[in-house]
A and B are shown apart, each in its own frame.
Chain A
């Protein structure tokens, strides 16, 4: 694990359109490392499944190339790509037993039946379903079916496994358990996994890296923490966790920091690479990084605000503030001893550090729209 991992999968300028007019995947570049757990995260219809299907070979790219282990696979039919796939609805064969499902990929590869039986047994052991060989898929719970689907995708020992929202149909508790299981199995076998979900908690919990998809493009690809702490695009800031997104204009840049004019307030912010003076930017501030009634001088950014609304949520207080006429500024105040009691209508002072406030390029900046 110490030496830099080789690239397992590479998308180079891949385009895909089903009808010839709407581009579902646009000029996509993506590299997945050997043994990596990469998650494609994005809203419904953003092209995640399409990417998997392109990689699996069920769809042909309209442009660009896909490489697996350095080899272009454009002409390789799906059955020769040797990729394990876990489908969203499991796609277990109802006419076969669990054992039959697992033995299927081995049989079509012409494996001797005793060796196949042994491998099936081991695969079931891996997903902790020993002794379920003779059950029918219909006789299994959702979680068990999920395990069988995973075992089937692994039993022929592929190096690359694709999973399309495998946990979508499970309830919350089971989902968390399976997240852990999938991660354990992936580490144990050191296989490369490309995983699709639109649940960001799931993506955060499982992935080495997360690629955030939006309208057929990757907005940002980064490890989970970096994605949360250092979003580089407005979409990512809005999609991952909660952010106050304020539209302003850069008035000065000093090193990593810049000053942004937001409704007459001068906000100090961290300038994401490539900002220029006069540019319209989006300020992203996490609600939990906003302090209420700080000691004077504690933060560079300190402003007067008015409490519009507040909701008590047990472990924290959710406060909606009016900041310079913007009425939807949200702060989350942890419910710890001594937090300042505020009431609706109060005038308060709020503050945050410049590094908790990122100046991002506005998504519509290219279109030249003004605020």
Chain B
């Protein structure tokens, strides 16, 4: 040993360190990939949920002057002048639309005020270049500028770092004084949505467990050749497109679908009383359970295969009935699989998008559908990011709790 070390010319710790670096080097492409495609977008999204410079960048002088305003009455004339001038330049820079949307989200109805004012200010001849002249011009462009609410909205929208999106995502708002208050009843959307998402995910998880546990047990107990076939059947859904699987549920469950037709034909239900099983919560529930079932079965199967058959035999030989042996000996040993499968299914269900979007109808929409809506339709990326951020924290918390209770290293995924 000593001789070999001497001839190498490097001491063992140094060589070991070099080997470690080489090994670490091999993971660099992966790290870069994860960094670029995952960490960076995630970071950008989380940043966007609290950081929005649109208004602050477009109206810097206005914001500086509004900072001194007490929020009661109207701001000083200088703020009018600054706002009017900066609106004109924002229009020239084509950023007035974004600016208006941003303010509009704080205070509904301000979008048109801002865009119209910017247009009018820009197209008419320059007024007297004193502050009073700008003020008059602005109020003339839209009388709303004579009201404090629009200034308050601009001031709030001008915060670069803002809790606004998170507050909105939690159905909260800030009142005139800045205190956090609940939104009026008719504006509350997201808490209910979060609750619904959690309830559906929990329901789907339990249903997957109820269906998946006996199935996994069956496969684990079957002789090898039959187990292979059964496992294949569990995996077949992975080979077909998610879209196909989801739409086949439409074929089955819609009001003119296979199931309803069969029930009507059999006289179980009347023709005019067909069951609404799709485009609602039931649809989301059924289709999600189907899609997520393999994620429950595989970890369960893997854990069950690791439980020696002699344990159940031992329990029986010791005088236990099957239920006793199952409850006291088998079930506890499969808990890591139950935990892993449930965690997996729950996390996937919480973020599920495509299935509820296709078969959820109006009442079966979940939080991710609203995130998508804010990403694609309303373009309120800040709110989308905040909703996503809350989801992320929730899932992280769940993972942490699981780790504390069961230990993540005991999780076996198959």
Q: Which 6 A-B pairs have the closest CB atoms?
A: A105-B318, A95-B332, A91-B314, A91-B310, A85-B317, A108-B320
Contacts A83-B317, A91-B308 known; list 7 others, CB within 8 Å: A77-B316, A78-B316, A87-B313, A91-B310, A93-B329, A104-B320, A105-B319
Count of residues in B whose CB is under 8 Å from the partner chain: 17
**What's the Cα separation between A79 and B319 when bound, in Å?**
4
Determine whether the beta carbon of A104 is less than 8 Å from that of B313: no
Identify which of residues 64-103 in chain A touch chain B, using a CB-to-CB cut-off of 8 Å.
Answer: 77-85, 87-89, 91, 93-96
Determine whether the beta carbon of A104 is less than 8 Å from that of B317: no
Determine whether the beta carbon of B329 is less than 8 Å from that of A108: no
Any A CB within 8 A of the CB of B252: no
B316 CB contacts on chain A under 8 angstroms = 58, 77-79
Determine whether the beta carbon of B332 is less than 8 Å from that of A78: no
Task: Contacts A91-B311, A108-B324 given; indicate if A156 touches B319 (C-beta within 8 A).
Answer: yes
Select from chain B the residue with minimum beta-carbon distance to A102: B318
CB distance from A95 to the nearest CB of B (A): 4
B320 CB contacts on chain A under 8 angstroms = 79, 104-105, 108
Interface size on A, as a range, is 20 to 34
Determine whether the beta carbon of B314 is less than 8 Å from that of A87: yes
Identify which of residues 86-132 in chain A touch chain B, using a CB-to-CB cut-off of 8 Å.
Answer: 87-89, 91, 93-96, 104-105, 108-109
Determine whether the beta carbon of A91 is less than 8 Å from that of B313: yes
B308 CB contacts on chain A under 8 angstroms = 89, 91
B318 CB contacts on chain A under 8 angstroms = 79, 104-105, 108, 152, 156
A156 CB contacts on chain B under 8 angstroms = 318-319
A58 CB contacts on chain B under 8 angstroms = 313, 316-317
Binding site for B on A (CB under 8 A): 56, 58, 77-85, 87-89, 91, 93-96, 104-105, 108-109, 152, 156
**What's the Cα separation between A79 and B320 when bound, in Å?**
6
Any A CB within 8 A of the CB of B328: yes
CB distance from B2 to the nearest CB of A (A): 33
Binding site for A on B (CB under 8 A): 308, 310-311, 313-321, 324, 328-329, 332-333
Task: Contacts A95-B329, A95-B333 given; indicate if A87 touches B319 (C-beta within 8 A).
Answer: no
A94 CB contacts on chain B under 8 angstroms = 333
Q: Which of A91, A95, A108 contacts B321 (CB 8 A)?
A: A108
**What's the Cα separation between A171 and B313 when bound, in Å?**
26
CB distance from A304 to the nearest CB of B (A): 56
**What's the Cα separation between A56 and B314 when bound, in Å?**
10
A-B contact pairs, 18 of them (CB 8 A): A56-B313, A56-B317, A58-B316, A58-B317, A77-B316, A79-B319, A79-B321, A85-B313, A87-B310, A87-B314, A89-B308, A89-B310, A91-B313, A93-B314, A94-B333, A105-B320, A108-B320, A156-B319
A78 CB contacts on chain B under 8 angstroms = 313, 316-317
Determine whether the beta carbon of B329 is less than 8 Å from that of A85: no
A80 CB contacts on chain B under 8 angstroms = 319
Determine whether the beta carbon of A104 is less than 8 Å from that of B328: yes
CB distance from A208 to the nearest CB of B (A): 23
Determine whether the beta carbon of B317 is less than 8 Å from that of A93: no
CB distance from B147 to the nearest CB of A (A): 69
A109 CB contacts on chain B under 8 angstroms = 319
